[in-house]
């Protein structure tokens, strides 16, 4: 979030359970309601229809869960950021707790421009609704990582185009959720990202001897987001956090 004054704050929250089916717009409404209930000193935009100065990070697909969602909000005066997550959690929908908050430096880069990497845990099924065996997932992951190109068809503004997902695919590992095998995906967001659904479409060509098994997402969890800066990999709460010690030393 960009600003010249005020008290910018970054908030981390989760989205688990039934709340995964609400839209990005509904999430924004839920937070605006929570801010009003808690009577936070919100800064507003100017113009005929003032809105709270709130900006979200990368949108999460409806139906996907997450342990690491973020938003930035501009306040007009300081609040206790240590106490803020608990305050918000009690007035947010069930399954969408606030899990962290920090004061930001002034003029912190916007979240959507800053996030460079996201990680997902994907539980899969085949075209018949059956769990995909670990050996099949492992072979598909190895095949994709060994490929120089992973073409996927996308529709933009009503027109079909073919894009290469390989630059966005940083790693694929086969993990476990209990006894069930899952895919752990690490995806780059820049210059162009990829959705888990698209990655599964690309992987499917490496299953069943190239004929595909109808690899489909059963459950998707976004486990983390990262900001890469100066060779360091930073969690978004840490990337642009305000440091009181630095302000004191400069005064």
pLDDT of residue 162: 87
Residues 183-195 pLDDT 10s = 999 999 988 889 9
pLDDT of residue 27: 96
pLDDT of residue 5: 61
Selected residue with higher pLDDT from 225 and 49: 225
Mean residue pLDDT of the chain comes to 91
Cα atoms found within 13 Å of the Cα of residue 230, Cβ hemisphere only: 2
Reply yes or no on domain 7-114 having CATH 3.40.50.1220: no
What value does the mean pLDDT take over residues 115-124? Answer: 97
Q: Is residue 206 within 8 Å of residue 166, measured between CB atoms?
A: no
In this predicted structure, the answer to whether residue 182 has a pLDDT above a threshold of 80 is: yes
Q: Is residue 239 within 8 Å of residue 226, measured between CB atoms?
A: no
What value does the mean pLDDT take over residues 153-169? Answer: 87
Q: Give, rounded to a whole angstrom, the gap between the first and last alpha carbons of the chain.
A: 24
Residues 79-101 pLDDT 10s = 999 999 999 999 999 999 999 99
pLDDT of residue 251: 41
**Of 168, 143, 165, nearest in space to 154 by CA:** 165
What percent of the chain shows pLDDT beyond 90?
76
What pLDDT band is residue 60 in, cutting at 50, 70 and 90? very high
In this predicted structure, the answer to whether residue 1 has a pLDDT above a threshold of 70 is: no
Q: Is residue 116 within 8 Å of residue 10, measured between CB atoms?
A: no
Q: Is residue 106 within 8 Å of residue 47, measured between CB atoms?
A: no
How remote is the C-alpha of 21 from its chain's centroid?
A: 15
Indicate the angle between helix axes 196-204 and 134-146, nearest 10 degrees. Answer: 90
What pLDDT band is residue 6 in, cutting at 50, 70 and 90? confident
Distance CA 54, CA 1 (A): 8
Selected residue with higher pLDDT from 12 and 47: 12
pLDDT of residue 209: 65
What pLDDT band is residue 212 in, cutting at 50, 70 and 90? confident
What value does the mean pLDDT take over residues 120-148? Answer: 93
pLDDT of residue 217: 94
What value does the mean pLDDT take over residues 66-72? Answer: 98
What is the model's pTM? 0.90
Quick one: DSSP state of residue 191?
Answer: T
The H-or-E segment that residue 238 falls in is: helix 236-239
Fold (topology level) of 117-228: Alpha-Beta Plaits (3.30.70)
pLDDT of residue 42: 96
The two tokens of residue 3 are 């600003």
The two tokens of residue 91 are 């007035």
Residue whose pair of structure tokens reads 């010249």 in the numeric block: 4
Domain residue spans of the chain: 7-114, 117-228
Among 20-24, 131-135, 139-143, 152-156, where is mean pLDDT lowest?
A: 152-156
Q: Is residue 98 within 8 Å of residue 84, measured between CB atoms?
A: yes
pLDDT of residue 154: 81
């Amino acid at each position: 979030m960009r600003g010249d004054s005020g008290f910018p704050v970054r908030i981390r929250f989760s989205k688990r359970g039934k709340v995964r089916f609400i839209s990005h717009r509904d999430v924004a409404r839920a937070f605006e309601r929570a801010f009003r209930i808690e009577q936070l000193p919100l800064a507003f935009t100017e113009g005929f229809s003032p809105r709270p100065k709130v900006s979200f990070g990368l949108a999460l697909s409806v139906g996907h869960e997450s342990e690491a969602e973020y938003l930035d909000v501009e306040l007009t005066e300081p609040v206790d950021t240590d106490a803020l997550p608990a305050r918000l959690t009690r007035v947010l929908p069930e399954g969408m707790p606030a899990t962290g908050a920090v004061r930001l430096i002034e003029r912190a880069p916007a979240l959507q421009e800053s996030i460079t990497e996201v990680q997902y845990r994907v539980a899969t099924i085949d075209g018949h609704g059956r769990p995909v065996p670990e050996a099949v997932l492992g072979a598909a992951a190895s095949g994709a990582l060994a490929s120089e190109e992973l073409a996927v068809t996308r529709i933009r503004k009503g027109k079909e185009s073919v894009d290469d997902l390989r630059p966005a695919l940083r790693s694929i590992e086969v993990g476990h959720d209990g006894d069930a095998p899952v895919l752990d995906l690490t995806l780059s967001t820049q210059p162009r990202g990829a959705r888990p659904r698209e990655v599964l479409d690309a992987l499917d060509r490496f299953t069943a001897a190239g004929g595909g098994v109808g690899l489909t997402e059963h459950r998707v969890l976004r486990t983390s987001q990262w900001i890469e800066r100066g060779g360091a990999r930073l969690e978004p709460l840490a990337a642009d956090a305000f440091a009181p010690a630095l302000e004191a030393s400069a005064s």
